[in-house]
């Protein structure tokens, strides 16, 4: 891929620049915990975006997307926003750097990626982090890594219309090979935990259902409201509770009569999920992958039956994983489609993949997609 990018850059601009990369991410456990003040547990993966960049001494950015075979030119003022949605990511990063006082000028760039689109591995965060890291390096701006992640997040909010949390950009910038990152979504404190399933005899496998049900955004907002209703009820007795992260099952049971059955179920899932993240961290310190897998199944059950954000296809893939003796499996991401993430013993891998493909295709009329992922480093310059 890097060679393809370099060749296109030379062809278009008749020169060479610096090459940068940022990864996509997985989240091992901790779903719908971010807006409840809880913990998430992502890691960067060995699939991402790569870009070649060189300042061109003008006020204009000349950019070419190799994957889309599309070219865009734009200035760096607010009114210069490009029409193409892919170009808005690059433009947004430039604007967010300028808003923070960073002095940048026009540049030439080509880029491509191998993060599968729509599979919940955050190709957009990989793109933002690549350009935020690159421009900071090229123009010697001295922006710290935290701010680079926030620049990516602000790009989504202000230029791409997505009101996302910080996890995706954080994992893309802070990723570290052989480690997952426990991120406290309230304080933004973080800690690395060793995660090397290969060495312990496992593979990390994503099975993509290749479906996306159209419920996602309205359902997401409804669940968020459920969590807020329960916090309001708990605060009547415990004014110190700011998020569900501050509550426990005893507090939830105190208000069971004051909240709807649906709101109760949603809160039960979140309180249990926040604890599962902490349990998985403890298990990894001991190298206990069996417990990690058990907690992943717990998350899937909770997302399917309590939070109700799974779907028939994802539940089916989870059931096949159980039948095949897979150590851990769960829906990854917000739900209603996308992937399951599976922790599979190496000696079960071939049989699991074969059965999943065969049975899923018979039931749903199309194959799932398979991605093997390895936990890798975050944003960096390629030498």
| Assigned token pair, 315 | 């539940």
CA distances in angstroms from 201 to 74, 144, 282, 346, 347, listed in the order given = 49, 37, 19, 6, 8
- How many Å apart are CA 318 and CA 283, to the nearest integer? 22
- How many Å apart are CA 292 and CA 186, to the nearest integer? 24
- How many Å apart are CA 370 and CA 282, to the nearest integer? 29
| Assigned token pair, 280 | 């998985």
Show the DSSP H helices in 49-113 as ranges.
85-99
- Helices 85-99 & 123-138 angle (0-180, nearest 10): 40
- 18 φ, ψ (degrees, to nearest 5): -95, 150
Candidates 168, 208, 263, 315; catalytic one: 168
Residue in 228, 301, 264, 225 with CA at minimum distance from that of residue 31:
301
Burial of 43 (0-12, 13-18, 19+ CB in 10 A): buried
Give 111's strand partners: 51, 65
359 is catalytic: no
- How many Å apart are CA 99 and CA 167, to the nearest integer? 22
Residues with a catalytic annotation lie at: 168
């Amino acid at each position: 891929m890097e060679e393809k990018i370099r060749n296109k850059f030379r062809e278009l601009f008749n020169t060479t620049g610096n090459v940068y990369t940022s990864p996509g991410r997985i989240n091992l456990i901790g779903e719908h915990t971010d807006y409840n003040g809880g913990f998430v547990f992502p890691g960067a993966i060995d699939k991402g975006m790569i870009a070649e960049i060189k300042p061109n001494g003008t006020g204009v950015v000349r950019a070419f997307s190799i994957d889309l075979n599309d070219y865009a030119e734009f200035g760096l003022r607010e009114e210069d926003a490009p029409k193409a949605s892919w170009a808005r990511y690059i433009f947004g990063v430039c604007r967010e750097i300028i808003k923070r006082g960073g002095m940048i000028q026009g540049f030439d760039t080509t880029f491509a990626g191998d993060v599968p689109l729509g599979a919940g591995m955050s190709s957009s965060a990989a793109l933002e982090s690549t350009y935020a890291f690159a421009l900071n390096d090229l123009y010697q701006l001295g922006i710290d890594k935290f701010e680079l992640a926030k620049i990516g997040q602000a790009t989504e909010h202000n230029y791409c219309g997505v009101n996302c949390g910080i996890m995706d950009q954080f994992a893309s910038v802070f990723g570290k090979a052989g480690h997952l990152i426990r991120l406290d979504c309230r304080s933004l404190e973080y800690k690395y935990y060793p995660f090397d399933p290969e060495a312990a005899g496992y593979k990390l496998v994503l099975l993509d259902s290749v479906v996306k049900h159209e419920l996602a955004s309205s359902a997401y907002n409804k669940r968020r409201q459920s969590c807020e209703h329960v916090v309001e009820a708990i605060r009547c007795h415990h004014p110190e509770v700011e998020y569900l992260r501050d509550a426990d099952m005893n507090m939830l049971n105190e208000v069971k009569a004051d909240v709807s059955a649906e709101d109760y179920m949603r809160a039960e899932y979140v309180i249990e999920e926040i604890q599962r993240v902490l349990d998985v961290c403890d298990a990894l310190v001991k190298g206990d992958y069996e417990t990690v897998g058990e907690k992943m199944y717990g998350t899937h059950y909770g997302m399917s039956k309590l939070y109700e954000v799974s779907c028939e296809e994802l539940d089916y893939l989870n059931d096949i994983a159980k039948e095949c003796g897979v150590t851990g499996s769960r829906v990854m991401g917000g739900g209603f489609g996308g992937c399951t993430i599976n922790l599979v013993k190496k000696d079960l891998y071939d049989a699991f993949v074969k059965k999943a493909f065969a049975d899923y295709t018979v039931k749903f009329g199309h194959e799932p997609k398979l991605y093997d992922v390895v936990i890798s480093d975050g944003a960096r310059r390629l030498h």
